[in-house]
Structures are given as C-alpha cells and as structure tokens.
Amino acid sequence: MVKINRPLFGAFAVFLLFLSCWVSWFSLNGYWDFFKLSDVIIFSWKVGVMIFGAPVLFYFSYLAFYCAIKNKPAKVNNKLANTFAMLAMLGVVISFFYLYISVIASPNMVISYAQDHLGCPLMNT
C-alpha cells in the first residue's frame, strides 16, 4: 500500500484550487470585455493559454483532494485526462498564433481593439 502524506497533499490541493480559480478569473476577465461589447478590448496570448489550461489544473486539484481525503492514490480517468490535455494543447497552439499576431502588432505583446481612435489606449498617450 502506498503511504500518502495527507497534510502535504491537502496543502497542494488547496494551492492548485486557488491557482486554477485565479487563472480562470484572470482569463475570463479578459474575455468579459469582448462579451460586453466594450469599446476597448485588450487581449493577450496569456489569456488564451489560461482559459484552456484551467481545466487541467482543476482536474489535478480534484485528484490531490481525493488523495488527501481518501488516503489512497486516485484512479485517473484516461478519457477525461486525455480530453483536458488535448484542450490544453489546443490552447497552446491558439495562443502561439495570437503571440505571433501580437508581436507583429505591438512590442508589448498585448493586442488592443477599439471602435474608434478615441477609445484606443495607445492612441491617447
């Protein structure tokens, strides 16, 4: 039988849960301007990676909580893990595409969209 250090796994699970919640909030905050049809939308490649990588972090957090609570190793659902891994890889590919566009568009790797030149933060400086 495998001995599991419950406090260590519990602390790791809480850390992963907070990290995945923060990543999700940061990413969805970037998409929120798009859904609100704001005048200025700022998008970064990091926002694209985070929205696709958050399910993997939530899944690892679940596995760590399971190990800490049940005191035995968790059985990994291969279909679910493969789906989350493919989603994360898709996010990396999409984010590299946006990284390429943002390097061409601006040196600070952030893309700003505005409906007119008055709303653009780069034009008002």
Question: Residue 6, Cβ neighbours under 10 Å: how many?
Answer: 13
Does the pTM surpass 0.85? The reply is no
Q: What is the pLDDT of residue 115?
A: 57
> Is residue 122 pLDDT above 60, yes or no?
no
Q: What is the pLDDT of residues 47-106, one digit of tens each?
A: 766 777 788 888 888 888 888 888 888 887 888 888 888 887 887 777 666 666 555 555
CB proximity list for 102: less than 8 A, separation 6 or greater? 43, 44, 45, 109, 110, 111
C-alpha span between 106 and 109 (Å, rounded): 6
pLDDT for residue 14: 92
